[in-house]
Structure formats: C-alpha cells, structure tokens
A = this chain, B = another copy of it.
Amino acid sequence: MGRWEPDSQGRLVEAAIALFDEFGFDRTTVADIAERAGLTERTFFRHFSDKREVLFFGAGALQELLVDTTVEAPASATPIESVASALEAAGELFSERRDFSLRRQRIISSSTELQERELIKLASLASSLGEALRQRGVPDPTAALTGEIAIAVFKIAFERWVTEPSAPGLAQLIRESMRQLRAVTASA
C-alpha cells in the first residue's frame, strides 16, 4: 500500500455500504471493510473512529450547510423562513445522492444502535439551527423551538423520500412538510 491513496475515504464508504448490505452491520468488521477497499485498517482509522461513523461521515458537512444557509439568509427573512431555506439547500444536496441515501437508510433501519445514532445526530442539528438563529439575533425560546421544529419537518420529509417509491425530490417534500406544518398549527 503506497502513501498515495486517491479518494480512500470514498472507497472505504463504498466498501462498507456494500458489506453492511450483504452481511449486515453487526457481522462486518473494520478489517473486512479495509480489505474490500484495498486499504489498510490504519488508513480506515485515519478517516473514521469506528465502522458506525462510516454511515455518518456526512453529518459535519450537513450541519455546516444548514448553519451557514440559516445565518446568511436575507435580513428580512423570519426565523422559520431562514431555516426553511437551509433545509431546502440540504434537500438539493441529498437529491444528488439518492441511491446512496436509500442504501444507507436500509442499513440504518436494520439496527437499533444505528437508529439511535441517527436520532442523536438529528438532535445535534436542531441545536445547531437554534444557535444559528441566535446569531441572527433571534431570542430564546423562539430560536430553540424553531430549530427543533425545522428538524421535525426535515425528519418527516426525509422519511417520505426514502420510503415512498414515487416520492418527488427531497427539497419539494420539505416544502410540502412546511406547508403541512403551517396547516397543522393554524388549526389550534
């Protein structure tokens, strides 16, 4: 194994997803993943802390996109409009990788441990959105509440996107969920 390993991270993710799909998450080891990718375990651990993290390596980039888009929304945007624009930007990002998202989701659904990890990542995204709104001058509890609501909307739209075979694009499902949110809350 030379020092030059073009896109070793991408190869490790691809290998891991294929193995999780084929043999199950629990029965796949880091050694298996490295071997399938034609890399060493040491290289694996330069990219990921454990095999679970292979499925969540995009969380940091997603969080950054959500926070940046929220912070940079026009000054005239209301809190919910700011986070809605961020969710739609995330929706566009995911739409480019629908196949990967579907395969990943199938693996996550197969394991309670992974489902729990997903919930924890989503809660962390909600907190980050709340913090981004505070940076826009939105006070609490509105900032925290809007962050939580945004992630509720995202979760529902994402679930539809990965489970409904003829679902439209994720960005469109997010807009639909936002409309449903308004309809639901207006009816109190």
Interface residues of A (CB under 8 A from B): 78-81, 84, 116, 119-120, 123, 126, 141-142, 144-146, 148-149, 151-153, 155-156, 159-160, 177-178, 180-188
Contacts and interface: CB of A to CB of B under 8 A. Distances in A.
B177 A141 contact: yes
A182 B180 contact: no
B148 A156 contact: yes
Q: What's the number of copies of this chain in the assembled complex?
A: 2
Contacts of A181: 145, 149, 185
B184 A188 contact: no
A116 B121 CA distance: 10
A120 B119 CA distance: 7
A182 B119 CA distance: 25
Contact of A185 (B141, B151, B160, B186): B186
Scoring A126, A142, A149, A155 by chain B CB atoms within 10 A of each residue's CB, the highest score goes to: A149
B84 A185 contact: no
A145 B152 contact: yes
Contact of A80 (B145, B160, B177, B188): B188
